[in-house]
Amino acid sequence: MNFDPSHSKRSFSSVGTRPIRPDGVDKVTGRARYGADFNMPGQLVGRILRSPHAHAIIRKIDTSKAAQLPGVKAVLTAADLPDLTNGDAAMYDILDNCMARKKALYDGHAVAAVAAIDARTAKQALKLIEVEYELLPHVTDVDQAFAPDAPLINDTIFTTGVDPKPDRPSNVSMRSQFGHGDVDAGMARADFVVERTFKTEQTHQGYIEPHACVANVCSDGTADLWVCTQGHFVYRQHCAELLGMDASKLRVTSSEIGGGFGGKTHVWAEPVALALSRKAGRPVKLVMTRDEVFRASGPTSATSIDVKIGALKDGTIIAADATLRYSCGPYAGAWAEVGAMTAFACYKLENVRTVGYEVLVNRPKTAAYRAPSAPMAAFAVESAIDELAKKVGMDPVDFRIRNAAQEGTKASYGPVYGPIGIGPTLEAVKNHPHMKAPLGKNQGRGMACGFWFNFGGQTCTDLNIGIDGTVSLAVGTVDVGGSRASLSLVAAEELGIDYSQVRTVIADTSTLGYNDMTDGSRGTFSSSMATISAARNAIKILRERAAQMWDIPVEDVTWEKGHAVAKGETHGNLPKLSLKEIAAASGTTGGPIAGHSEIVADGAGVSFATHICDIEVDPETGATKVLRYTVVQDAGKAVHPTYVEGQYQGGAAQGIGWALNEEYIYGKDGRLQNAGFLDYRIPVCSDLPMIDTQILEIPNPNHPYGVRGVGETSIVPPLAAVANAVSNAVGVRMLHIPMSPPRILAALEA
Amino acid sequence: MMVGIAVSTNINGDNAEFLCHADETLLDVLRDRLGLMGAKEGCGTGDCGACSIILDDRLVCSCLVLGAEAEGRRIETVEGMAQGDQLHPLQQKFLEHAALQCGICTPGFLIAAKDLLAKNPDPTEEEIRFGLAGNLCRCTGYDKIVRAVQDAAGVMRGA
Ligand code: FES
Ligand code: FES
């Protein structure tokens, strides 16, 4: 579906307004039901036993005592689950991560589970399970795991992407490479070169709602799963495949979701809950504790990145090179690959090369976290770019403007860009009052750019018009932050009716066709595309019905502002028919009126942002305070601007936390030492200033209204923007994130 | 076998009686025994504020209070904020400012903000930020939450 250029001049009537969201009242009154807010009659409580060891062979699990405890209805180990050893490797890994089969691969890895009549009994039962471990050497640091003599985590992993195939297994599951031109020749021509190695620590998405589900498997093989997820269709597919069920027999209903940010795109406890329910013959509710969320759901990668960039005297970047090592947990991943794709995506480069290495470590399996892999790469590249600008003697914004990618630029990861927003966001930042505000003592300002692809994917919507003329829109992309409001606006816009006449719901997996999950910033992008096409299909029927009511050819009926209008001289004086009137007559004109749409939403527009950060650093203690923060980002077209701002602010806040505070801390014993919100400190209200936002609208040519995904890009620049601000405040280049007070002091003393 | 403790208390103006175990938290009692699911469990250790309630005019994390401690006390939860179909000004302003994205933190923030404004009807931005520092929100970056509280405070003062 192409962008209708007339829309750039078109005045939208619903799209771009800021109504209250349809699920709002339930959420401010405590009525909205999240993962843990659902119960079934006769339900049992499920609990999971987790390995305290980072790396150990599971010699034996004795569950007999637990099974005999009164009130215990099912005990489960990997032996009760299908053995996928000879099946699809990715599926094997997913199931092995849900329940360890041969080895415990990280502190927190599930090894057994129980279902009991109450939480107390379940907890007691876990204590009665005896697991015999044989400890193995472990490795949790990405650089140590990368070293040739590191303890081997999986002896079936041979690095792919290298020629010839290695003859020894290693902790590197894949090498990937992107780029074009001749980097070495370019670098040789450079007048100035910056070469640095950066490190970022592992962080967690930190959604406030722990994973929760209620599973109910019937003896006839049908099953229901209530779960907080970003993608209930994908969960259905995975759970069915892992447990050997027909997908159609498993109905998955997505609860309201209390945050996901990528972390609820992977199954963790759900297959276990289903298997427990199947074994016990009763519904099972399984809710993770916060400790489990940190230890055993998916944090993002820790990274170590080498960057080398060269520039000519006139400020042209002549060559750019990066090697990126990303931890992926104890299973093969593809995270460095994404980092390698995004690293230099903001720039127009003649000679560019990026190499990514996926590194296995004894930590939880890495999961997506908002623009996964991009923030770390941007931290390294944008820090080096800032330093290079100084060497060249240019203002950092001007230096970036000079080298910014444009329409027609061949991106470092391959494709040629259409109209893009990197230049405009930089110009907006250059002219922003924030850039001109004075700074005080110990204060520094930093800015940085960020890129994210965005994703389209399989999407399906049903738009049903009631006989009273109001509209029910059923979509299959989970609403993570207000998309029901946005999609109601889009349906209202297309049909020409009022927002209040549309109600959007998230359909379960049995009532709508397959949808990919809400990730890749695709929720509003792809479902709005499907909604527009569903509405257009409905309008086609509405026109036919009006033609029938008037007894004129359908070609003579147009649709304008919610009405069928008869055109042409002969029909000119027929009074127009409203959607409501046509709907009321549907019983006599051919039955219910609906529009459906099943699409692959191709053409998600790439998105760019530039952020500005002011920070104050206390040189005595290394403590930091963010004083002012500004986000400028291209939205293509902001459907509900308030929620777009919310995405910008939320991503910036997460990025600030990552830059300054958040990290997984492992002891020498390979155990996670800060699996709680007290010690894994995410930003609180008093840590942050107001976050100013500026929405730019450079239409995405592949969407009828010009919409781009907006959810993720906002977390890409902050790590670098904050690091540049700190570096400017203290006069020392910061190379290691998070910049916690001890690390800042160490950098000052170095 | 554990014997239940009989507790009688007052929740949102209504008398309530329940049996609970000695080690059961008030949060679990509210959610599992009384069906009041507005308070959420984000951590269970007093670190996130999602379970905030007001106990005898004091803001507390209900995950850190035992059910048995509710005996003879007055409890306010998010379910008691609206009067009939009339939303509390804080609820209304949270909606108008889009101070929630996923909304899991919202009941806790509303209760904490209600407590804050009861004690300080005209807080500065800084006082709001520190007053709400016990509540975690991962979605919003707090900007719109602070604005909603400022706006609601004005309405409640009749300004
Ligand atoms: S659940 Fe009580 S403070 Fe987090
Ligand atoms: S709105 Fe999601 S945690 Fe606050």
Chain B contact present for A348, CB below 8 A: no
Q: Do B136 and A208 touch (CB under 8 A)?
A: yes
The answer to whether residues B102 and B148 belong to one domain is yes
> What length does chain B have?
159
Angstrom distance (rounded) from CA A492 to CA A535: 9
Q: How far is the CA of A5 from the centre of ligand 1 (A)?
A: 50
Angstrom distance (rounded) from CA A402 to CA A434: 21
pLDDT confidence of A1, banded at 50, 70, 90?
Answer: low
Chain B contact present for A52, CB below 8 A: no
- Give every residue of chain B whose pLDDT is below 50, as ranges: none
The answer to whether residues B124 and B151 belong to one domain is yes
Which ligand 2 atom sits closest to the C-alpha of B99? Answer: 1
Q: Do B87 and A25 touch (CB under 8 A)?
A: yes
Q: Percentage of chain A with pLDDT > 90?
A: 92
Q: How far is the CA of A208 from the centre of ligand 1 (A)?
A: 10
| Confidence at residue A69, expressed as pLDDT on a 0 to 100 scale | 98
| Confidence at residue A455, expressed as pLDDT on a 0 to 100 scale | 82
Q: How far is the CA of B106 from the centre of ligand 2 (A)?
A: 7
- As for the ipTM of the complex, it is 0.98
Mutate to test the interface with B, among A17, A23, A27 (most CBs of B within 10 A): A27
B32 C-beta neighbours (distance < 10 Å), count = 18
Ligand in nearest proximity to the CA of B102? 2
Which ligand 1 atom sits closest to the C-alpha of B48? Answer: 4
**pTM (2 d.p.):** 0.96
Chain B contact present for A642, CB below 8 A: yes
Angstrom distance (rounded) from CA A718 to CA A710: 15
B:24-43 residues touching chain A, CB 8 A cutoff:
31, 36-43
Q: Number of helices and strands (H, E) in chain B?
A: 5, 5
Is there a contact between A494 and A471 (Cβ–Cβ < 8 Å)? Answer: no
Q: Which helix (H) or strand (E) holds A352?
A: strand A352-359
Residues 6+ apart with CB under 8 A from A421: A607, A608, A633, A634, A696, A698
| Confidence at residue A66, expressed as pLDDT on a 0 to 100 scale | 98
Q: How far is the CA of A272 from the centre of ligand 1 (A)?
A: 26
pLDDT digits (tens, 9 = 90+) for A468-493: 999 999 999 998 878 899 999 999 99
Q: Which of B51, B80, B109 is the last residue of a domain?
A: B80
> What are the strands of the beta sheet with A130-135, ordered from one edge?
A103-104, A56-62, A130-135
Q: How far is the CA of A300 from the centre of ligand 2 (A)?
A: 20
| Confidence at residue A177, expressed as pLDDT on a 0 to 100 scale | 98
Tell me the mean pLDDT in the region A138-160: 97
Q: Do A690 and B146 touch (CB under 8 A)?
A: yes
Tell me the mean pLDDT in the region A348-355: 98
Angstrom distance (rounded) from CA A157 to CA A161: 12
**CA nearest B37 in A: which residue?**
A37
Chain A contact present for B79, CB below 8 A: yes
Q: Do A256 and B40 touch (CB under 8 A)?
A: no
| Confidence at residue A517, expressed as pLDDT on a 0 to 100 scale | 84
| Confidence at residue A570, expressed as pLDDT on a 0 to 100 scale | 76
Which ligand 2 atom sits closest to the C-alpha of B102? Answer: 2
Chain B contact present for A679, CB below 8 A: no
Residues of A within 8 A of B39 (CB-CB) are: 30
Chain A contact present for B104, CB below 8 A: yes
Identify the CATH number of the domain in which residue B100 sits.
1.10.150.120
B70 lines ligand 2 (CB under 6 A): no
pLDDT of A199 strictly over 90: yes
The answer to whether residues B94 and B68 belong to one domain is no
Q: Percentage of chain B with pLDDT > 70?
A: 98
Ligand in nearest proximity to the CA of B105? 2
Q: How far is A596 from chain B (nearest CA, A)?
A: 28
pLDDT digits (tens, 9 = 90+) for A528-546: 999 999 999 999 999 999 9
pLDDT digits (tens, 9 = 90+) for A398-437: 999 999 999 999 999 999 999 999 999 999 999 999 999 9
Bin A457: left if φ > 0, else alpha if -120 < ψ < 50, else beta. Answer: left
pLDDT of A4 strictly over 70: no
Q: Do B94 and A481 touch (CB under 8 A)?
A: no
Q: How far is the CA of A228 from the centre of ligand 2 (A)?
A: 14
Residues of A within 8 A of B52 (CB-CB) are: none
| Confidence at residue B2, expressed as pLDDT on a 0 to 100 scale | 64
Q: Residue A506, CB half-sphere, CA atoms under 13 Å: how many?
A: 29
pLDDT confidence of A3, banded at 50, 70, 90?
Answer: low
Q: How far is the CA of B142 from the centre of ligand 1 (A)?
A: 18
Q: Residue A454, CB half-sphere, CA atoms under 13 Å: how many?
A: 31
Q: Do A29 and B101 touch (CB under 8 A)?
A: no
Chain B contact present for A482, CB below 8 A: yes
Tell me the mean pLDDT in the region A188-192: 98
Tell me the mean pLDDT in the region A252-276: 96
Q: How far is A44 from chain B (nearest CA, A)?
A: 13
The answer to whether residues B16 and B76 belong to one domain is yes
Chain A contact present for B140, CB below 8 A: yes
Residue nearest to atom 3 of ligand 1 (CA): B46
Angstrom distance (rounded) from CA A480 to CA A483: 7
Identify the CATH number of the domain in which residue B14 sits.
3.10.20.30
| Confidence at residue A154, expressed as pLDDT on a 0 to 100 scale | 96
Nearest to A20 among B42, B43, B95 (CB): B95
Domain boundaries, position B137: 89-157
Q: Which of B39, B57, B80 is the last residue of a domain?
A: B80
The answer to whether residues B15 and B70 belong to one domain is yes
Q: Which of B35, B63, B80 is the last residue of a domain?
A: B80
The answer to whether residues B99 and B146 belong to one domain is yes
B98 lines ligand 2 (CB under 6 A): no
pLDDT digits (tens, 9 = 90+) for A14-36: 999 999 999 999 999 999 999 99
> What length does chain A have?
750
Q: Do B100 and A27 touch (CB under 8 A)?
A: yes
Mutate to test the interface with A, among B75, B127, B142 (most CBs of A within 10 A): B142
A:652-671 residues touching chain B, CB 8 A cutoff:
652-654
The answer to whether residues B76 and B96 belong to one domain is no
Q: Do A290 and B21 touch (CB under 8 A)?
A: no
The answer to whether residues B30 and B48 belong to one domain is yes
Q: Percentage of chain A with pLDDT > 70?
A: 99
Chain B contact present for A71, CB below 8 A: no
Residues 6+ apart with CB under 8 A from A55: A103, A104, A105, A106, A135, A136, A137, A138, A139, A151, A153, A362, A670
| Confidence at residue A456, expressed as pLDDT on a 0 to 100 scale | 81
| Confidence at residue A571, expressed as pLDDT on a 0 to 100 scale | 79
Chain A contact present for B72, CB below 8 A: no
Domains of chain A, first to last: 5-32+456-600 (3.30.365.10), 35-136+210-257+264-296 (3.90.1170.50), 303-454+605-749 (3.30.365.10)
**Token digits for A342?**
């995004």
| Confidence at residue A8, expressed as pLDDT on a 0 to 100 scale | 55
Q: Do A649 and B144 touch (CB under 8 A)?
A: yes
Please classify residue A246 by burial: count the beta carbons closer than 10 Å to its beta carbon, then call 0-12 exposed, 13-18 middle and 19+ buried: exposed
The answer to whether residues B47 and B95 belong to one domain is no
B119 lines ligand 2 (CB under 6 A): no
pLDDT of A239 strictly over 90: yes
Chain B contact present for A369, CB below 8 A: no
pLDDT confidence of A122, banded at 50, 70, 90?
Answer: very high
3-class SS of residue B90:
helix
Tell me the mean pLDDT in the region A247-270: 95
Chain A contact present for B142, CB below 8 A: yes
Q: How far is A690 from chain B (nearest CA, A)?
A: 5
Please state whether the peptide bond connecting residue A741 to the residue before it is cis, i.e. omega within 30 degrees of 0.
Answer: no
pLDDT digits (tens, 9 = 90+) for A648-703: 999 999 999 999 999 999 999 999 999 999 999 999 999 999 999 999 999 999 89
| Confidence at residue A522, expressed as pLDDT on a 0 to 100 scale | 79
Instruction: Calculate the average pLDDT of chain A.
Output: 95
pLDDT of A572 strictly over 80: no
pLDDT digits (tens, 9 = 90+) for A297-317: 999 999 999 999 999 999 999
Q: Number of helices and strands (H, E) in chain A?
A: 22, 27
**DSSP-assigned beta bridge partners for residue A447:** A612
The answer to whether residues B101 and B62 belong to one domain is no
The answer to whether residues B18 and B71 belong to one domain is yes
Ligand in nearest proximity to the CA of B148? 2
The answer to whether residues B142 and B101 belong to one domain is yes
Q: How far is the CA of A208 from the centre of ligand 2 (A)?
A: 7
Q: How many domains does chain B have?
A: 2
Ligand in nearest proximity to the CA of B50? 1
Is there a contact between A290 and A676 (Cβ–Cβ < 8 Å)? Answer: yes
